[in-house]
Structure 1
């Protein structure tokens, strides 16, 4: 989705969600979703992963990203000139409150059946805002060292407790408590990648101590494939996400939404 002609935005954006091997084998739909919106000054990107155990999570993930694209864009457009810092965190939290309220109002008493994670990035002049609830992740491309592009994993939301890896959903009790927000001010950012947990094994590396970091070869190739759009950009991403190589790493649904700065004339 988009608010203006995308060519007016400094960001080129592309992404998709595809059903994983398990869902293809069972004839089930993809329970991931992604959406974005752009204006002349702000771009909002959102991805969501519906809970596989919930009967209407496919609808929940779609509703979550649609509301997020709309509400985060509305809040951000009104405050696009704000300075990086606490004001951005407040903006993100206020937008999340709007999304959560509208989501729960729309789903009513059946809200748990629509359970989904949500990860959002706002690209505004001078800052990048990031909000996540659940296990989605964001990688930035910014700067270079010795001619090599540098990639940075933004901090992820906490688990429900230090003893549990259970995912927190938009519909979880006290979900706002587990929301994580970031504000990044770096003029060197020229690429942003959002994904659900279906691509963790491909896009991230885990150190011996358990810390995660970007898998440079994977994320570099994903960004470079969007730096120059070709006729098969969409088909190429679909082929990658459904490839045997990625399926062998993780059979879940997969979402990849990326944005790169357009080349300046």
Structure 2
């Protein structure tokens, strides 16, 4: 496993509107490490496709697998060819899988990507489509795109489009990374809720920075998922004077998924 001095927290929650429509969570995340480095990716499947959660789950694993393979082959993330090569690797893997499944799966493979490849020397943040990322407290939103149509990587499998690249968002020395967050577009909604009261109780949601400054999210591997679940849990209370039930809906309309990496205290 990687010796990089970072702790990881991750979680995902089904969006309120997807739950109402009886749909699955179409987001996914994957984090893996090797002796060569660490790769973290989140993905959001295209909402108009019936099985886009399949593409998101396969997509994050394919991207992570391909990136770790490149690191094992001594590829450097600071080289200009790393992301184009990673894109081709992922498209080849998806194309092979498409043939093995024996049906038209292109729609299933439409997913956005926000990811990071971290080595002892450099950390690369990249994306394809919308989402959000934050480095050392500085938050960056990706999208929205015209007509709510992100440039999905898998368009290249049918349209031969070359304008669906993996885009470099940041390349920094790893020694300068203290906290890194990768999120799907649902995290943009979460970022706007700092002063909003939780559905149950009087606690406010708080800023995104809580997710990388509070130790609890890194001490318990399920803490971040549970926090997201609490944010999206409908609250029902009795108003005895009005003789009625008052329902407070969950706060996150869209599927929300994030990975947070934080440098361990006392480690350079």
TM-score for the superposition, normalised by structure 1: 0.76
Counterpart pick for 1:229 among 195, 218, 228: 218
Matches of 2:113 and 2:217 in 1, distance apart?
A: 29
- Higher helix content, 1 or 2: 1
Correspondence for 2:119: 124
Matches of 2:257 and 2:53 in 1, distance apart?
A: 13
Contact 1:104 1:111 in 2 (8 A): no
CA apart distance, 1:90 = 1.4
Contact 2:59 2:111 in 1 (8 A): yes
Matches of 1:134 and 1:124 in 2, distance apart?
A: 24
CA apart distance, 1:110 = 2.2
Correspondence for 2:86: 95
Contact 1:241 1:254 in 2 (8 A): no
Q: Residues 201 and 42 of structure 1: is their aligned pair in 2 closer, same or farther, counting only changes over 3 Å?
A: same
SS of equivalent residue, structure 1 residue 263: coil
Correspondence for 2:198: none
CA apart distance, 1:93 = 1.8
Aligned pairs (5 A) from 1:95-114? 95-108=86-99, 109-114=104-109
Q: Residues 130 and 139 of structure 1: is their aligned pair in 2 closer, same or farther, counting only changes over 3 Å?
A: same
Q: Residues 201 and 37 of structure 1: is their aligned pair in 2 closer, same or farther, counting only changes over 3 Å?
A: same
Q: Residues 251 and 71 of structure 1: is their aligned pair in 2 closer, same or farther, counting only changes over 3 Å?
A: same
Contact 1:137 1:153 in 2 (8 A): yes
Correspondence for 2:226: 238
TM-score for the superposition, normalised by structure 2: 0.75
User: Which of the two has higher C-alpha Rg?
Assistant: 2
Aligned pairs (5 A) from 1:1-265? 4=1, 8-79=3-74, 82=76, 84=78, 87=79, 89-108=80-99, 109-141=104-136, 151-154=137-140, 156=142, 159=145, 164-172=147-155, 173-174=159-160, 176-179=162-165, 180-186=167-173, 187-203=175-191, 218-226=207-215, 229-231=218-220, 234-244=222-232, 250-264=252-266
Matches of 2:162 and 2:251 in 1, distance apart?
A: 31
Q: Residues 259 and 176 of structure 1: is their aligned pair in 2 closer, same or farther, counting only changes over 3 Å?
A: farther
SS of equivalent residue, structure 2 residue 265: coil
SS of equivalent residue, structure 2 residue 106: helix
Contact 1:127 1:183 in 2 (8 A): no
Contact 1:168 1:175 in 2 (8 A): no
